[in-house]
Amino acid sequence: MAKPLDPDKIEAARRTSRKAERREQKRRMLREEIAHNRSGNGVIVIPPPKKEALAQDAPKLRVAAYCRVSTQEEQQLNSFEMQVLHYRSKIESNPSWELVEIYQDEGVSGTSVNKRLGFQKMISDALAGKIDLILTKGINRFGRNIVDILDNLRKLAALNPPVTVSFETEGITSTGDGNNNLLIAILSALAELESQQKSEAIKAGIRWRMADGVYKFSVYNTLGYYRDHFGRVVIEPTEAKIIEYIYESCLEGASVSEIAVALTEQQIKSPKGHSHWSAGTVRSILRNEKYCGDAIMQKTYTKDFRTHKSVKNVDLNKYFKEGHHDAIIRKKDWQKVQDILSLRRASKKPATMRQLGSRFIVSRIKNGLFQGYFVLDARWSVDEKKEFIQMIQTPKIIENERN
């Protein structure tokens, strides 16, 4: 095994993302500007003519709003913040309305409700009788899946009393009387179609950039690398030590399981920040060509724009760029590791113990004082024991066991 790592030093020196700080600074600047304008230095609001005051004993309408943007890009940040501020101001300025909550989903697609926690909470509160009216910017903000949209609108309309949903952009409402149902269904279908077309356009753009070698693939969970402010793939020195340790251990003969156990025991965090390492995680790192500076793009792709689930690519072109970025592992060492992994994989198919015949049933002690020893069946004859010992002393089998 390679020299043990210092987990405290590595964890202390790990890179921290500045993206959240930039987004928070952007939000703070926007809020300060709006507060400044509202203090009398901005837009002058000209109210409409006053209407007759409502009866004092009329109960206030419990109103909620739903705001959503599909990405966390900075160009959509202002849109999202303005949605929230707009509906908060609109509800609080109406004396006959009472604000329930501004339900929010930032950076979440509208093609499915599964990851829209804010939307789920809103529907749950409405079904619990806490909401009378829901305001939202448009049907495409409410959702981009016609089945989900109509299903949730039916649930709200079936309540007693029904919960009304007002779509501001389209200027229509969904109520329990069935009015506007056909129009809402058509607009919902158009919202889903628009989402599908946008998805296809985005995927086509990504493939064009891959073919030209300029696509910026994600390194979010790629240990040892990060993207700088210019979008370049840069080595993270402290995390690179973990990668070097994994490759060195493999070259010295350690299996992926042994490496995973060693990293777990040394309390080194996994790429996703977990305390436990799996053999699969170690194997994926050893198989990742990015660590020798190359890049294979479109290993996976999104098959269904509604679910956004990535699947292994066996249908579309892949794109390979040699020397795409700085390498952590030398190319020849990376290739040696691939040969080792392939040899181990091939050696598993003709399982060593099966070659001895069905009468041989043995197990090998994996840890403890007798690690590496075989447990023999006491029922074997002397000749069978000799045959087994002769087989395990054969260099090829010893090598297979080691791998």
For residue 88, being part of any structural domain is answered with: yes
Res. 16: pLDDT tops 60: no
Q: How confident is the model at residue 395 (pLDDT cuts 50, 70, 90)?
A: very low
188 and 250 inside one domain: no
Q: Considering the entire predicted model, what is its pTM?
A: 0.47
Which has more pLDDT, 206 or 143?
143
Q: Beta partners for 311? A: 301
Choose between 316 and 132: higher pLDDT. Answer: 132
Domain count, the chain: 3
In a domain, 6, yes or no: no
Query: pLDDT tens-digit profile of 108-126?
Result: 776 677 788 999 999 999 9
User: Does 57 have pLDDT greater than 80?
Assistant: no
Q: Does one domain contain both 83 and 193?
A: yes
Shortest CA distance to 71 belongs to which of 62, 63, 83, 79?
Answer: 79
Domain's final residue, options 176, 199, 222: 199
Q: Quote the CA–CA distance of 258 and 264 in Å, as a whole number.
A: 10
Does the structure show a pLDDT above 70 at 379? Answer: no
- Of 164, 199, 234, which residue sits at a domain end? 199
pLDDT cut 70: percent of the chain above it:
73
**What gap in Å lies between CA 98 and CA 357, rounded to an integer?**
79
Q: Are residues 152 and 269 in the same domain?
A: no
Based on the fold, state whether residues 320 and 356 are members of the same structural domain: no
- Contact (Cβ atoms closer than 8 angstroms) between residue 221 and residue 307: no
Helix (H, G, I), strand (E, B) or coil at 169: coil
pLDDT in tens, 230-239: 888 888 888 8
In CATH, what number is assigned to the domain containing residue 71? 3.40.50.1390
Q: Smallest Cα–Cα separation from 139: which of 192, 87, 199?
A: 192
Residue predicted with more confidence, 401 or 291: 291
- Quick one: 235 and 371 in the same domain? no
Q: What is the pLDDT of residues 350-372, one digit of tens each?
A: 333 223 234 444 555 555 566 56
Q: Does residue 373 share a domain with residue 246?
A: no
Instruction: Tell whether 257 and 296 lie within a shared domain.
Output: yes
pLDDT tens track for 29-53: 888 888 777 776 666 767 777 766 5
Averaged pLDDT of the chain = 77
Tell me the per-residue pLDDT of 333-351, one tens digit each, with 9 for 90 and over: 999 999 888 887 644 443 3
Average pLDDT, stretch 374-391?
69
**263 and 372 both lie in a single domain:** no
Does residue 261 surpass a pLDDT of 70? Answer: yes
- pLDDT(95) > 60: yes
State both tokens at 51.
Answer: 């209407």
Q: Which residue has the tokens 């994989």?
A: 345
Range of the domain at 361: 351-402
Same domain membership, residue 162 and residue 79: yes
pLDDT at 101 over 50: yes
**pLDDT tens column, 161-211:** 889 999 888 888 887 566 667 777 777 777 677 766 676 776 777 677 767
Domain boundary among 135, 164, 199: 199
What CATH number corresponds to the domain at position 229? 3.90.1750.20
Which pLDDT does position 394 carry in this prediction?
59
- The reply to whether 278 and 306 lie within a common domain is yes
Unique residue bearing structure tokens 């309305």:
97
From CA 180, how far away is CA 173, in angstroms rounded?
7
Residue 164: inside a domain, yes or no? yes
Q: Domain check: are 329 and 389 in the same one?
A: no
Do 257 and 355 lie in a common domain?
no
Please provide residue 10's backbone torsions phi and psi, each rounded to the nearest 5 degrees: -70, -45
Q: What is the pLDDT of residue 375?
A: 64
Q: What single string gives the DSSP state of each residue in 295-352? A: EEE-SEEES-TTT--EEE-SSS--EEETT-S--SS-HHHHHHHHHHHHHHHHHHTT-G
